[in-house]
Structure formats: C-alpha cells, structure tokens
Chains A and B, each alone.
Chain A
Amino acid sequence: MKINDVILQTATKLVLFVIILFSIHLFFAGHYYPGGGFIGGLMTAAAIVLLLLAFDLKTVAKILPFDFKKVTAIGLLFAVGTGAGALLFDAPFLTHAFTDAYLPLLGKTSLHTAVLFDIGVYLVVIGVTLTIIQTIGESE
C-alpha cells in the first residue's frame, strides 16, 4: 500500500522557509545576541533533514546537488583562510579587522571579518551533519 503523505509534504514546503529564515537570522545575530555559526548551521541542516523526511534521498540530492564533503572543505577554507589572511598583514594568526560602512538599503552596517570565519563554521556544520545523515541513510 502506498502511503499518501501529501499533508506532510505540503507542510514541509511551507515550514522549510521559516526554519531556514530563522537559521539565517540566528547566524547573523551571533555577534550581539545568542546565536552564531554553529547553531545557525545546525538549524539549516535540520531544515534539510526535514526535507529528507518528507521526500527521499534522491529527490533532495536533485534539489541540492552539492557534495557535502566539499561543502565541509569549503567551510574549513573560509575559516582557515580568514585566520591566514592576517598573515598577509604580518599580524598574528586569526587577528580580525572590522569597519563601519554605509551600504545601500542596510544603512550603517558594521562589517567584521569574524563573519567570514563564522560562514566557515556554518558551512562545516551543514556539511558534516548532512554527510553523516546521507551516508547512514544510503548504506544498506
């Protein structure tokens, strides 16, 4: 008997965007409020896991055609690269810099290289979580 899971799938399609928006909010709030790369990445991964639950591995692989092991590696490159960028200025490793800039639409925004580091953490968390889940899911 084929189970009809139209309710689950429809609800997922709606809820998915709320979760992803919330995770991005958490990610950008990290400097001033609780949140940051780790929890943001975990929640984005959770959103994709919800997608996996509602559909199946192949469909999700079609929607998100990433090799998540490489996502992890790119995240690591971001994190290490941000730290190593300090080497170019002969400052100690991981020395961060920041500036206030006036951006169109956003107005006065403080830009900090720690965000780049956090993007690295974010990608690593997503990559690792989904690699684990997909690998276990695929193995017979």
Chain B
Amino acid sequence: MTNLILLPILVPLLAGIILIFFTKNIHLQRWLSGISSLATVVVSAFVLLKVRQDGIQTLALSSWEAPFGITLVSDMLSALLVFMASIISFACLIYSFRSIGEQRERFYYYSIFQFLLVGVNGAFTTGDIFNLFVFFEVMLMSSYVLLVLGGTKIQLRESIKYILVNIISSALFVVAVGYLYSIVGTLNMAHISQRVSEINQPGIITVIAVLFLIVFGLKGAIFPLFFWLPGSYNAPPAPVMAIFGALLTKVGIYSIMRTFTLLFPHDTGYTHQILSVMAILTIITGAIGAIAYWDIKKIIIYNIIVAVGVIAFGISVMSYDSLAGSVFYLIHDMNIKAALFLLVGIMIKITGTSNLRKISGLIAHYPGLGWTYFLAALTVAGIPPLSGFIGKVILVRSGFEEGHYWGAAIVLMSSLLVLFSVMKIFINGFWGEPKDYPEGKKVPVNQLMIAPVLLVIFAIFYGLGIEAVQPYISQAAETLSNPDIYINAVLKE
C-alpha cells in the first residue's frame, strides 16, 4: 500500500468533510467522529510498525519525484508523534461527548476537531517546508474556531490576541521561507539540507535559522515569545484546552527539532547556543508561573511552558542522547498534559470554579478522580517508575556529559518546582474538609473519567515498558542526529 503514511491525514480529512453534512444530527456526528478517530489511531499504529520494520517511509504526492513534488516523509519521530496525536485526540473526543454541550456540537465542533487533527498530523508528516506552513495554517485556523466557538466574552477577547499573534508569526514564517528559497532555490526539506551543507551554512543561513527559531518559538511558546499562551489557553472548554496543550505547542517544538537537526546543523555554535539560553529561560519562567498561581488551569498551562523549555534544551545540546531524551520527553509530555487538562476540567465541572482556594476535600466524594490525579501529578514531575522519569534522566545526563552544567541543573531543579505546583493542587484541592459546591453533593463524573484514565494508564505503561519503547526512540534519535539518513531516504541516491 503506497499511500499508507497518508492515511492518518486522509481519514480525519474525509471525516471532517462528511461531518459538515450532518450538523443537526448529533448522535450521528458522535458516532462518525468516534469511528474515524479510532480508525486514525489504527492506521497511525500501522504506520508506526511499518517505519519500525522498513525504516523511513516516503510518499511522492502526485507521482512527482522528490525535489520537484511534495514529499510526505514519515521517519520514526513523525510516526511516533502522529500516533500520539491520534491517541490524544481520540481521548479528547470521547471526553467531548460528555462535556462539550449541544450548543457547540451543533455548530461544527466535531468537524473542526477533525480538521485540527488533519493539520497536526500533516505538519508532523510533511517533508516540504512550504507544505509545513500550509498544514500549520490548517491547524491554526481550526484552533481559532475551536477557541472562539461558544462565543463567551473571555473566548472572544483571548481569540483576538491569539489570532493576532499567530497571523504575525505566520507572516514571518512566509518571509523566512521566502528568504530561504531565494538562497537555496528549493523547498523540499531534504534538498534544502543538502544545499545548505554544500554552501556550508554562511552567515545569511544562520540569520534565517534564527528567523525560523522566532517563528517556531512563537508557535511553540518559548521565552520570550510565550506571552500569548497563558491567556489564550485559559479561555476554551476543557477538551479543547487539552488538545491545544497537548498538540499545538508540540508542533512548534517538532518544527524546531526538524529544522535545527535537518536544515541548520552546520553552525551549531551560534544558533544552538541561542536556543539553549532561550530554553533555560523558558524553564525558569514556566516554573515561576506554575508556582505563582492559585488557579488550577493556569498552573497546568505554565507547566506546558516548562516542558517546552525542557524539550528545547534537549534539542540545543544536539547529541544523540539528548535528542533521544527530548523525543522521550516530548511523547510523555503530550500524553500527560492532555490527561492533566482533562482532570482539571473535571475538577472545574464539579466545583464550578478554577480558584484553588475555593476547592478542598474533593477526595472524600471522588476518590477515583483524586488518585488518578495523584498518579498524573507524579508522572509529570518524573518520579521513577512513571513515564516522566527516563526522558529527563537521559536529558540531564547528556547535558552534563556535553558540558551544559547550568542547563542540566536547571532541568533537574525544575522537576522539583513542577512537583510542587501540581502537588499544590492535590494537597489543597483534594485533602481537607469537603465543601458544598453549587452543583450539589455528587456530580456524575464516571463517563468523563474514561479518557483521562486511559491516558494515565498509557503513561504508566510508557514508563514501565521502557525496554519495549526504547528501540523506537533510538531509531528516531538516530535519524535526528544523522540527517544523511533522512536525505538519502527522500532523495534516493
């Protein structure tokens, strides 16, 4: 099947289109979008196994060969991320069934949800820099709609900011691609990489690399370009927040990973040092934000920023081990952030507030929720048997090995602050005297719990089954640390 790696893009695309016809029939919409999301998970699992077996898969769209047409490239990193994106969107979808409300469902919610997945999967899979831009736009436009859908005051205000920032960063993206095209004369990423190494990365290419860093830093919320994120992610309802937190910033991080390992790896002294400084500052600001707030949504949102910084630090070290650690941590973080947002969403549904000072004693009536949250909190901080541990260990060790002592130390310290911030929610929200909440004594949360429990179970297996996951991660890191593998697979020389 030549088109296998296309299917994770095509299935949600077709589903999104077909869902437009049935906006009034909510049950049919739920069934269709559920089935298509499940199908996406299945096909992306097939892609993953195929890449594991036969190495990098490429698909020349329209039968135009590599530098001339658009090539879809699925290396191990892409396949893993597409798989994770599909699983997370499936979890958020089944959570949406119970929480998003009929008003939103009637107005193309599921359709837009599928288009968001198209954009994310496409951005992970494409091998063409301009096509990456297009998939970014597909993803962002869907996210604009999901952010504003419902039309409450806070959503309107925050979506204006969000759209403004993203339009500016998209314009910068086009400008950066324009500059790059005027110098290397090609848009295929493998071909760009080859040409850049032929001219041995002169100063202008380094300028473009920094421009790309700014663009993807704006998308992926790196210091000092993260300013739009805390407000914007605070506005939408829980499942949308979960899918934003788990996928959107990670696409920016993936793009940084791809461009800085594939396109611009020749003059690492300058660009990667900037990235390293930005990453460390990102971790610090994220950690400060996470411990400063008493709003449970804000705490998790600032934890996204910490994680982005940790992953970016791994990229900036640029050794095989640190890249493996980054990939490990990236996958763990996508999974656990989605789980945390969904759990926080349930807490807000029960209590009707996101102010931590007004919440206490939840564990008396909701022990399942409490212990799931506890496990998720330990995971996100990186307590040994769980999944956050191994990625950070590899990252910190490789940081020390390569002489990035400050960075590695700060990554280590950040774990403590992250643990403090998420435990603050646990201790203040779940322990103590139970309070009366406006929704009444017992809110039915069992059906809402399915999605976060699935994600937390996945996180536990991901942590315990390191031996099984390891070959996938090292295959991804191998391609990242040696771009020739990627170039040869695409250009077939």
Q: Which residues of A are in contact with B by a Cβ distance under 8 Å?
A: 69-70, 72-73, 76-77, 80, 84, 86-87, 90-96
Contact = CB atoms under 8 A, between A and B. Distances in A.
B20 A94 contact: no
B470 interface: no
Among A76, A92, A95, chain B packs the most CB atoms within 10 A around the CB of A92
Interface stretch (B57-65, B130-138, B258-266, B381-389): B57-65
A90 B61 contact: no
B62 A96 contact: yes
B468 interface: no
A87 B20 contact: no
B392 to A, nearest CB: 39
A95 B62 contact: yes
A70 B20 contact: yes
A124 B21 CA distance: 14
Interface stretch (B9-17, B351-359, B403-411): B9-17
A96 B62 CA distance: 7
Nearest to B70: A94
B17 A94 contact: no
A87 B1 CA distance: 9
Interface of B: 1-3, 6, 10, 13-14, 17-18, 20-21, 59-63
B135 to A, nearest CB: 14
Nearest to B23: A69
Contact of A92 (B18, B20, B60): B60
Given A87-B3, A90-B1, A76 B61 contact: no
A95 B69 CA distance: 11
B21 A70 contact: yes
A70 B59 CA distance: 31
15 contacts: A73-B21, A80-B10, A80-B13, A80-B14, A84-B14, A90-B1, A92-B2, A92-B3, A92-B59, A93-B3, A93-B59, A93-B61, A93-B62, A94-B61, A95-B62
B63 A95 contact: yes
A132 to B, nearest CB: 14
B21 A93 contact: no
